[in-house]
């Protein structure tokens, strides 16, 4: 079935143009002026709207088993909520338990994701090490479309990697042509601070940010960057939340290292005052790691995004409802870490980024879609409106407003960290694989329609930084 999107402003990361977009069989077939409507096909009038590539959220956790419970959003509800917000692809995480076979874990997650409504892919976490992990990383890259491995430097006693595992996995990823990603927080320090703070009698959610100060993130970010530099592997930092980590990224980039960094929409707009709220539930709803930071960090993160030091925006969508959060009523250390946002990311960034003049519409497309597509190697299948690309498209209405609320959102969680925020700029229509999946407030997603997207590894020149430096002309010294 064909669709013609007529009269909109097509926005790609490379620029804007007035053009019609013709879609057929799930693909974009033409982008040009005065295209003819297909026989029997639908014509969408996009006059006054932007026509943008579907959002790509490179960091989500649907139905994740974590901290003694399971995230409330499943792959169907989560990808449906994503579509309502203009996101048509997410990259979720397979997180094997220590000693769990990593290929079997991938298969388990893939079983869960069969119900996804939109396209998705998986990073795989390396949480332990032996010869089978070394072997199976190659199997995942060759047979399961995995080109990125995740490393948690926090969550001691659960899924944390020590430096030995980091070194083993980074080296193996380099040899396979895969990308390493890290959750950068020093897990030893977090664990120590958590005990100290709890022993002082601070048991509520206000203890959470105290146990995870920016220095803890900055140290781990810098350590991961240096390990990646020495081992010659590209690195991607997830949820960069503070100046300390941003400075480490900036320094590495200025030194020519291939480092990428992501920022979460919520870290750009919410500060740490949420943890001082007298309502325990409100504060607990915001417990996530890294935590929300003092306001000056937000300003720096926006500048990081504007300057290209941060390339992608994500949500870390990891939903736990109020009764799940209450597991930590008497001990902040037991509050499941995670917040919502997959439905809200695009509008929050449009409202606070584009409407304030910090980002142009093209820059918005870059940080919500194109950059993630490039970094994770699904470009130009995704992340661009051009002939041959998948027809994952949003007709974006820059004038329409929505006030975000758990009462009306599509996410499977009983609160929203953005409750009461009004955003102007929302999807009028979301198209996934050439089919309308959301239109004027109504979801039309189909359970199981989402495909798993294979992501091939990278060409070897991505990984030869050390080699390149070694091969550089030796400077002769005059004596």
Which residues of the shown chain bind ligand URP in the complex (CB under 6 A)? 61, 183, 288-289, 316, 318, 337-338
Question: Which CB sits closer to Zn ion, 66 or 438?
Answer: 66
Q: Which is nearer to Zn ion, 56 or 354 (CB)?
A: 56
Question: What is the C-alpha to C-alpha distance for residues 466 and 192, in angstroms, rounded to an integer?
Answer: 35
* Residue 368, binding choice from Zn ion, ligand URP, none, Cβ under 5 to 8 Å by partner class: none
Q: What is the DSSP string of 89-137?
A: EEEEEE-PPTTS-HHHHHHHHHHHHTT-SSEEEEEEE--S-SHHHHHHH
Residue 316 or 392 having the CB closest to Zn ion: 316
The reply to whether 208 sits near Zn ion by the rule CB under 5 A is no
Query: Among Zn ion, ligand URP, none, what binds residue 363 when CB lies within 5 to 8 Å by partner kind?
Result: none
Distances, alpha carbon 55 to alpha carbons 26, 32, 154, 363, in Å:
16, 22, 28, 13
Least Cβ distance, residue 437 to ligand URP (angstroms): 26
3-class state of residue 281 by DSSP: helix
- Which does residue 221 touch among ligand URP, Zn ion, none (CB within 5 to 8 A, set by kind)? none
Largest CA distance in the chain: 81
Minimal distance, residue 218 CB to ligand URP, in Å: 17
Nearer to ligand URP, 65 or 111 (CB): 65
Q: Which lies closer to ligand URP via its Cβ, residue 183 or residue 285? A: 183
Binding mask of the shown chain, residues 172 to 201, with x at each position contacting Zn ion by CB under 5 A = -----------x------------------
The binder of 126, among Zn ion, ligand URP, none, by C-beta within 5 to 8 A per type, is none
Rounded CA-CA distance 284/449 in Å is: 35
Q: Which residues of 290-310 are buried (b: 16+ CB within 10 A; e: fewer)?
A: bbbbeeebbebbbebbeeebb
* Cβ 177 vs Cβ 460: under 8 Å: yes
Residue nearest to ligand URP (CB): 337
In the list ligand URP, Zn ion, none, the entry touching 288 (Cβ below 5 to 8 angstroms by class) is ligand URP
How far apart CA 325 and CA 337 sit, in angstroms, is: 8
Beta carbon of residue 279, minimum distance to ligand URP (angstroms, whole number): 20
Based on CB atoms, which residue is closest to ligand URP, 300 or 314? 314
CB of 411 to Zn ion, least distance (A): 16
CA 48 vs CA 10, 103, 130, 400, 416: distances in Å: 11, 48, 57, 11, 30
Q: Is residue 151 close enough to count as binding Zn ion by CB under 5 A?
A: no
Dist. CA 46–CA 143, nearest whole Å: 41
Helix (H, G, I), strand (E, B) or coil at 354: helix
User: Restricting to residues 289-318, which ones interact with Zn ion according to CB under 5 A?
Assistant: 316
Which residues ranging from 40 to 59 are in contact with Zn ion (CB under 5 A)?
none
Tell me the CA distances in angstroms from 368 to 98, 239, 333, 362, 363, one per residue in order.
Answer: 33, 14, 32, 10, 9
Give least dist CB 185 to ligand URP, A: 8
Q: Give the end-to-end CA distance of the chain in Å, rounded to a whole number.
A: 75
Q: Which is nearer to ligand URP, 21 or 90 (CB)?
A: 90
Q: Which is nearer to ligand URP, 272 or 439 (CB)?
A: 272
Give the shortest CB-456-to-ligand URP separation in angstroms.
25
Shortest Å, Cβ 18 to ligand URP = 40
Q: Pick from Zn ion, ligand URP, none: which does 338 bind, CB < 5 to 8 A by kind? A: ligand URP
The option from Zn ion, ligand URP, none interacting with 21 (CB < 5 to 8 A, set by class) reads none
Between residues 154 and 348, which has the closer beta carbon with respect to ligand URP? Answer: 154
Beta-ladder partners of 45: 6
- Measured from the Cβ of residue 428, the count of other Cβ atoms closer than 10 Å reads 22
Residue nearest to Zn ion (CB): 183
Q: What are phi and psi of 250, to 5 degrees?
A: -60, -45
Nearest-approach distance from CB 170 to ligand URP, in angstroms: 19
Distance in Å, CB of 131 to ligand URP, minimum: 28
Cβ distance to ligand URP smaller for residue 49 or 337: 337
For the bound state, the minimum distance from the C-beta of residue 336 to ligand URP, rounded and expressed in Å, comes to 8
Q: Please name the residues in contact with 262: beta carbons below 8 A apart, sequence gap of 6 or more.
A: 58, 59, 236, 237, 238, 239, 240, 310, 311, 312, 313, 314
Q: Which helix (H) or strand (E) holds 44?
A: strand 42-45
Q: Which residue in 73, 87, 77 sits closest to 116, CA to CA?
A: 77
Return the closest-CA partner of residue 180 out of 465, 463, 379: 463
Residue whose CB is less far from Zn ion, 337 or 347:
337
* Nearest distance from C-beta of residue 401 to ligand URP, angstroms: 29
Residues at the site binding Zn ion, with contacts judged by CB under 5 A: 183, 316
């Amino acid at each position: 079935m064909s669709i013609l999107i007529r009269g909109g402003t097509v926005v790609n990361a490379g620029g804007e143009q007035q053009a019609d977009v013709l879609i057929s069989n799930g693909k974009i077939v033409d982008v040009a002026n005065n295209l003819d409507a297909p026989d029997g096909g639908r014509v969408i009038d996009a006059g006054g709207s932007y026509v943008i590539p579907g959002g790509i959220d490179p960091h989500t956790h649907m139905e994740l088993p974590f901290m003694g419970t399971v995230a409330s959003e499943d792959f169907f509800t989560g990808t449906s909520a994503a579509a309502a917000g203009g996101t048509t692809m997410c990259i979720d995480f397979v997180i094997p338990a220590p000693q769990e076979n990593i290929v079997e874990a991938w298969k388990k997650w893939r079983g869960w994701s069969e119900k996804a409504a939109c396209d998705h892919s998986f990073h795989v976490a390396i949480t332990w090490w032996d010869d089978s992990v070394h072997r199976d990383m190659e199997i995942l890259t060759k047979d399961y479309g995995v080109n990125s491995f995740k490393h948690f430097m926090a969550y001691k006693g659960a899924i944390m990697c020590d430096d030995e595992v980091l070194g083993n996995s980074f080296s193996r990823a380099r040899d396979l042509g895969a990308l390493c990603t890290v959750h950068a927080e020093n897990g030893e320090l977090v664990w120590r601070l958590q005990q100290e703070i709890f022993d002082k009698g601070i048991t509520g959610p206000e203890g959470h940010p105290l146990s995870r100060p920016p220095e803890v993130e900055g140290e781990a970010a810098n350590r991961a960057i240096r390990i990646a530099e020495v081992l010659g592997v590209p690195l991607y930092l997830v949820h960069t939340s503070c100046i300390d980590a941003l400075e480490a990224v900036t320094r590495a980039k200025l030194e020519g290292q291939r480092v990428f960094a992501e920022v979460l929409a919520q870290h750009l707009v919410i500060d740490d005052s949420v943890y001082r709220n007298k309502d325990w539930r409100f504060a607990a709803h915001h417990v996530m790691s890294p935590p929300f930071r003092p306001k000056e960090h937000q300003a720096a993160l926006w500048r990081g995004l504007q300057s290209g030091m941060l390339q992608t925006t994500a949500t870390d969508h990891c939903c736990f409802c109020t009764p799940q959060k209450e597991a930590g009523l008497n001990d902040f250390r037991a509050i499941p870490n995670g917040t919502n946002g997959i439905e809200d990311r695009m509008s929050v960034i449009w409202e606070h980024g584009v409407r304030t003049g910090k980002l142009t519409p093209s820059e918005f497309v870059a940080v919500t879609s194109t950059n993630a597509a490039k970094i994770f190697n699904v470009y130009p299948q995704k992340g661009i409106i051009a002939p041959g690309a998948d027809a994952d498209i949003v007709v974006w209405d820059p004038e329409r407003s929505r006030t975000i609320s758990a009462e009306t959102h599509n996410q499977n969680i009983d609160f929203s960290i953005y409750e009461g925020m009004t955003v102007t700029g929302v999807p009028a229509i979301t198209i996934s694989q050439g089919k309308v999946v959301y239109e004027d407030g109504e979801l039309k997603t189909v359970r199981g329609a989402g495909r798993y997207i294979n992501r091939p590894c990278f060409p070897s020149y991505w990984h030869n930084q050390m080699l390149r430096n070694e091969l550089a002309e030796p400077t002769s010294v005059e004596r």
